[in-house]
Amino acid sequence: MRSVKSLGLLHMTLLFILGFIVMAWSMGGFSLIRLPESVAIQSFKTMFISIVLEAVPFILIGVIVSSIMQIFVSEKWIQKFVPRNPLLGILFACILGVIFPVCECGLIPIMRRLISKGMPLYVAVVSILVGPIVNPVVYVATYTAFRSRPEMLYARMGLAIAVGTVIGLIVYFFVHKNQLRHSKVTLYNGSDREMTEHEEQHRRGNKILAVFEHSGSEFFEMGKYLMLGSVITAAIQTFVPRADLVDIGQGPVISHFFMMGFAYVLSICSTSDAFVAASFVNSFSMGSLLTFLVFGAMLDFKSTLMLLSVFKTRFVLLLSGLVISVVLIGSMIVERLYLGN
């Protein structure tokens, strides 16, 4: 045991820092210090902070829902509600996505928790892929951005569900091993006997407090990937001119690949990417914009980092490969048959 004295000192020091920050803030002391200014650094700062601020509410919803599930939802409940039939399971996953209308930042922690509680992997995967697209918020955003081309809205929603179904079935039939990066023991304290003890503990303790403690840990666990992703996204947005990118991305097939890469590095939330896509209508085909809208919401820089925190690297690679190929093929078919230009 550490000596009580040194611990007391540690508490004092950190409490002092905390107090100092609050004092300095309340006296407006922060505005006295100024870092060197440059337009590019300023824009970088504005974008970085805005990406973080936009994501924080959603990641908070994610970690809090996940923590509530950890404490209140039992494995039995999951087994009772998740359908046995894979197609019904996929439908269930899509409905889950609608129930939690958050983007992948919020969905990934929730799904991690549900998998560790015994939800089948394919259901979670479909939710993570389809959820960020098939939900009311994104529906309205896409409708507004493509007001005069509503076929884009239907193509986006339809293709997302189709891609989710195909990938869900592939995962259902071919992936059987546990794909979680952390074993259930770390996430969930393992065997049934320990479980009951654990639940006992919660019953005694204050459940609300427990939810907050879990949320705190998980916020830092998931948030670090969000921060890293936001830094890189903001840097690309600030320092790489779009026009340069657009020039390399023309041509019937290459434009699809280009739009995937573009969506990947931009890492814009699915609630606002339709707006960005709309500004490319004159320079890109509708098909490649559809690729942008479906692929970008399913897989991007930020979400890859978050997926890596949940799943084994090999599984993330497999999933990425599947998303790339299925979205590409699907989008080209839709372009040929439905969008027609």
Partner 1 sequence: MEQERSNTPHYWIRAIILLGYTLYITQLVSSGNIIYYIAPRMTPYVKYASILLFGMAMVQVFLALQSNREDNDEICDCEPIPERSLIINIGIYSLFTVPLLMGFLMPDTVMGSSVASMKGMNLGADASISQNLVKVTTNTTSVVNEDDDALKEKFPADPYTEDYALLAMKLYIKEMIRIEEEGFMELLTSIDIYIDNFIGKKITLKGFVYHEDDMLPNQFVISRLAMQCCSADTAPYGIMVESDIANNFAEDTWVEVTGVIGKTLYNNNTIMKIDADTIVTTTASDNPYIYPYFEDFVNLGN
- Supply the minimum distance, in Å, between the C-beta of residue 300 and partner 1: 12
Of the candidate residues 23, 42, 72, 317, the single one contacting partner 1 (CB under 8 A): 42
Burial of 58 (0-12, 13-18, 19+ CB in 10 A): buried
Count of helix runs (H) and strand runs (E) in the chain: 17, 0
Q: Does 25 bind partner 1 (CB under 8 A)?
A: yes
Site for partner 1 in 64-83 (CB under 8 A): 64, 70
Of the candidate residues 181, 184, 202, 312, the single one contacting partner 1 (CB under 8 A): 202
Of the candidate residues 86, 109, 132, 223, the single one contacting partner 1 (CB under 8 A): 223
Burial 70-101 (b: 16+ CB within 10 A, else e): bbeeeeeebeeebeeebeebbbbbbebbeebb
Binding residues with partner 1: total (CB under 8 A): 98
Q: Does 49 bind partner 1 (CB under 8 A)?
A: yes
Q: How many angstroms separate the CA atoms of 173 and 122, rounded?
A: 9
Q: Does 295 bind partner 1 (CB under 8 A)?
A: no
Site for partner 1 in 105-124 (CB under 8 A): none
Q: Does 56 bind partner 1 (CB under 8 A)?
A: yes
Name the residue type at position 164: G
- Supply the minimum distance, in Å, between the C-beta of residue 73 and partner 1: 14
Instruction: Mark residue 238 as left, alpha or beta (left: phi above 0; alpha: psi -120 to 50; beta: remaining).
Output: alpha
Stretch that binds partner 1, among 117-125, 171-179, 206-214, 324-332 (CB under 8 A): 206-214
Of the candidate residues 219, 292, 295, 311, the single one contacting partner 1 (CB under 8 A): 219
Are 278 and 150 a contacting pair, CB within 8 Å? no
Q: How many angstroms separate the CA atoms of 105 and 8, rounded?
A: 38
Q: Does 278 bind partner 1 (CB under 8 A)?
A: yes
Given the complex with partner 1, which of 109 and 168 has the nearer CB atom?
Answer: 109
Of all residues in the chain, what percent are helix, strand and coil, respectively (each to 5)? 80, 0, 20
Site for partner 1 in 231-260 (CB under 8 A): 231, 233-234, 237-243, 246
